[in-house]
Structure formats: C-alpha cells, structure tokens
Amino acid sequence: MRTAGYAAYTDQLRLLASDVVKGSWRRVHQDVEHALNGQAAQRLRSLVPLQVRRDEGAFFTGGEVRSRVSALMDTGEPSTAERFWDPTCGAGDLLLAAADRLPIGSTLAETVRLWGRRLRGSDQQQPFVDAARLRLLLAAAARHRGEVSPGSINVDAGLRAFRGIQAGDGLALLRSTSSYRGHLLLNPPYGSAPADPDCDWTSGAVSQAAVFVLAAAQALGIQQRMFAVLPDVLRSGSRYEPWRSRVESLLDVERADLYGQFDAQTDIDVFLMRAARRRKRTPSVPAGPWWPAPMASSSVEDAFEVRVGAVVDNRDPHEGPVAPFLTARDLPPSGAKGVPGRSRQFAGRLVTPPFIAIRRTSRPGSRAGGEARAAGVLVTGVDPVAVDNHLITATPLDGGEAECKRLLQVLESSEVSEWLDQRIRCRHLTVGVVRSLPWPGLG
Ligand SMILES: C[S@@+](CC[C@H](N)C(=O)[O-])C[C@H]1O[C@@H](n2cnc3c(N)ncnc32)[C@H](O)[C@@H]1O
C-alpha cells in the first residue's frame, strides 16, 4: 500500500487514544485538539509522497472548508436522528463535522456506540480508515471533556464501535446502494479517468468527482441530502453542462457556493454543494444556483458574434489563401492592434476587422495593477484574419468600431472582472461566458 507511511501517524493517534481512555485528559487535551484540527492533513503531506497523494486524490478537508461544510449542514431541520455516510472518508474530517451535530450519551462508551450506528465511511487506504476511526473516538472523548471512568472502555472496544468505517471502494458501494436513509458527505478524488463505455453524458477523460456525485445521487433516498466539496470546474465549466443537467434530474440543488482555492497547499478551486434527492426524476436544463445571477438583461451576444479562433496551428494544414494570422503571443495586453504582420495559409473561417480579440487563458483572483480578468484588444484593418484558437473573437453585428470600443470598456470594468471571478474559476474563459457578459448598449 503506497500510503503505508501514514501508519506512523495512526500509531501516534492510537497512543493518544490510549492515554485518553486511561484518564490522562488534562495532560493530553491539547494534543487531542491538534489531532482533530489540521494535523491529519499536515501528516499526510509529510508522510505520503506528493505523487502518491496526487494519484490517490488524497487531500483532507480541514480548517475553513470544514467549517463551511458544517455551516452547510445547518438546514434548520432537526438533526438528532441523522445518519451520515462518507464513501471516500480519508482521515474522517467530514465525518468529524457530522459528529459535531450528533448527541452524546451519558458515558463515552455509550456515545461511541450511538455514533457508530449513525456514521458510515469507506476509503481505499487502510491507514486513512484507521485514522478516521481513532479521530472519531478522540472527538467523542473531547465531547465528554475526557471524563472517562477507568476501565469503562478501552481503545479496541472504542474502535469496534466504528465498524461501519471500513476499507473499500466507495464508488462500488454507492453503486450497489439505493434509497440510503441518511445524508451523504462527499469530497471525492478529483483526478480524471476514462468515462465508462456506457456513460451517456460524456466520453473521454472525466473528473472522478463528477462520477462520484452521480453515483451518490442515485444511492440517496428521497429527500435525503448530499453535502459535497467539489472541483469548481463541475460548477462553471461548459464541458460539465450535461453533468449539471444530470445532477438536476436527480437532485434539487439548494446551494452551489463558490469557495475558491481549497487550502494554501492545494491549488485547486472548489465549491460547496448542498442538494436533496428529488421525488421524481425530471429531465431538465441546468437551472440550479450554479452561477451568480446575470448582471444585466441584455448581453454581449445580443450585439456581437462571439467565437473561438478557428486555427489549431500545429494541426491545421497550410492550405488555402494566405491570410494575416493573429496569435495570443502577438497580442498586446490591451488597446488596439492593426492587422498582424504574421501570416499563414488557412482554408477555414477568417474574421473580418474590426473585432475584439480576448485571450482564453485568464487567472481568477487578484491581478497585478487592477488588470481586467478578460482584457480585450481591438483589431483593426481591412483584410480578413486567421485567428489562433487560444483567442476568442467578438465581431460587432453592426460592423462598427464604436461598438468594439464600448465592449473594451465593458471588459475593463471591475464589476465584470468580479462577476467573472464568481462565474468561472478555472483558468480559461469560454465563449458561453463572454456571450453572457452584460451589454449596456441596448434598451
Ligand atoms: C479528496 S480526499 C477527501 C477525503 C475526505 N472525504 C475529506 O474530505 O477529508 C479523497 C479520498 O478518497 C479516497 N479514494 C479515492 N478513490 C476511492 C475509492 N474508489 N473508494 C474510496 N475511497 C477512495 C482517497 O484515498 C482520499 O482519501
């Protein structure tokens, strides 16, 4: 097992649990505090090599994200009889968030029995499962403030109570479940894998997170909820629109809150989803709260034809008429540009100036010197231009340069940059998003 190094940490947790059940709470309570908050993720980074963590999709939900998941679980409904299942539980952080909501018994032994009946989990990595069980035992002891009558419980008995947390393939378990009466907690692996041959919403490489969510949605009983931490591309990427439709045919998506970068060490943007299993499966076009509301009633597509550049330079043959060739490399950061000096033969679609060229790569978040998220450049001239596919073009329907200049102003506005940061966190812009930008020119 490539995560075997993590056993050094579970050994440490076991010693700590043993001290706690022997009644040494005052001496070790701060260590327990660390074990329940952030330490499991720190040890993951120090004990399991980066490549293994990447291959397994292993990063644990600590700190602020875990608090936000806890807040998401506050649905206003009574929580005393709730059950929770995390099919990819790692070291149990989401289960710990759920356990905070569970009542306790009159003794530690009673509490672990009660929690053990309510909490279920699985992970492919045995050391993570061991850590999850030990941390839940420590969390139960912390709720009793370490008050344990000597001899009333030992570590093995405490761990046996959490036998619902087992090593196993969470995806297979979800797929063999229907009408689960309880809530699903999900922060699954995010890596890509080939879609199943019988997958009817996509083909090729697909995010494992998308696959887990659909399996989880199908496993849920009616009106049961899912609380999930997911890569933002599922919320904002055009490629995942069929996935969003599929999700909405199974679930009422109550919240899809953009969070931003997962944590200081994990450079991936995530969002938090809360959704409840629908009574009836209804096919739909995505309409859930995936994105912020449109900023205006008319949009750029009402006044511009927005397309991706047609040239894939290393693939398209040098055939057809010679045309000026516009690439992202030759584009100034902003302003205007005449017809490019570079040229190539191209038999496909050319774009006639004036038009606005926008780089597709665009990083969300703070940019140097207030730079716009979608900076455009006005391209002028007479000859039609072949445009590289790293650029998006917007050609005014009325053909005028004045319209182009108004679009430059729209793109440069801080409101549009902020809206774009909410709407699309992955590092490229899409034609759909540029089309949906507000257009103040009408009405
Ligand atoms: C992003 S981590 C999240 C762990 C935990 N849910 C949390 O939020 O802290 C994903 C976990 O999924 C586990 N995993 C990957 N594939 C799995 C599978 N098929 N079945 C069960 N666990 C899996 C990894 O070992 C890893 O611990």
For ligand 1, atom 6: residue with the closest CA: 89
For ligand 1, atom 12: residue with the closest CA: 88
DSSP letters for 84-126: EEETT-TTSHHHHHHHTTS---SSHHHHHHHHHHHEEEEES-H
What is the position in ligand 1's atom list of the atom closest to the CA of 86? 6
* Distance from residue 52's CA to the centre of ligand 1 (Å): 12
Q: Which residues line ligand 1 (CB under 6 A)?
A: 56-61, 86, 88-90, 93-94, 122-125, 128, 169-171, 187-189
- Looking at the domain 4-277, which fold is it? Rossmann fold (3.40.50)
* Distance from residue 188's CA to the centre of ligand 1 (Å): 5
Distance CA(29)–CA(42), nearest Å, equals: 19
Query: 79 Cβ partners below 8 Å, 6+ apart?
Result: 73, 101, 102
Contact 217, 275 (CB under 8 A): yes
| 300-435 maps to CATH 3.90.220.20 | yes
For ligand 1, atom 19: residue with the closest CA: 169
Tens digits of per-residue pLDDT, 386-420?
999 999 999 999 879 999 999 999 998 888 888 88
Which of the listed residues 124, 165, 185, 211 should we mutate to test ligand 1's pocket, taking the one with most ligand atoms within 8 A of CB?
124
* Distance from residue 191's CA to the centre of ligand 1 (Å): 11
* Distance from residue 196's CA to the centre of ligand 1 (Å): 20
Q: What is the DSSP letter of 330?
A: G
In this prediction, residue 443 carries a pLDDT of 43
* Distance from residue 314's CA to the centre of ligand 1 (Å): 38
* Distance from residue 77's CA to the centre of ligand 1 (Å): 28
For the CA atoms of 356, 357, 363, 367, what is the dihedral angle to 10 degrees?
-60
For residue 374, give the nearest of 283, 296, 436, 317 by alpha carbon: 436
What is the position in ligand 1's atom list of the atom closest to the CA of 60? 9
In this prediction, residue 80 carries a pLDDT of 61
Distance CA(153)–CA(193), nearest Å, equals: 44
Q: 279 by DSSP, 3-state: which? A: coil
Report domain extents, the chain: 4-277, 300-435
pTM (two decimals): 0.81
Q: Which residue has the tokens 């952030």?
A: 38
In this prediction, residue 289 carries a pLDDT of 84
What is the position in ligand 1's atom list of the atom closest to the CA of 61? 9
Tens digits of per-residue pLDDT, 133-188?
999 999 999 999 878 887 789 999 999 999 999 999 999 999 999 999 999 999 99
Q: Which residue has the tokens 């020119």?
A: 441
* Distance from residue 124's CA to the centre of ligand 1 (Å): 7
Low-confidence spans in the chain with pLDDT less than 50: 443
* Distance from residue 122's CA to the centre of ligand 1 (Å): 8
What is the position in ligand 1's atom list of the atom closest to the CA of 185? 6
* Distance from residue 209's CA to the centre of ligand 1 (Å): 10
What are residue 428's DSSP bridge partners? Answer: 361
What is the position in ligand 1's atom list of the atom closest to the CA of 173? 20
CATH topology agreement for domains 4-277 and 300-435: no
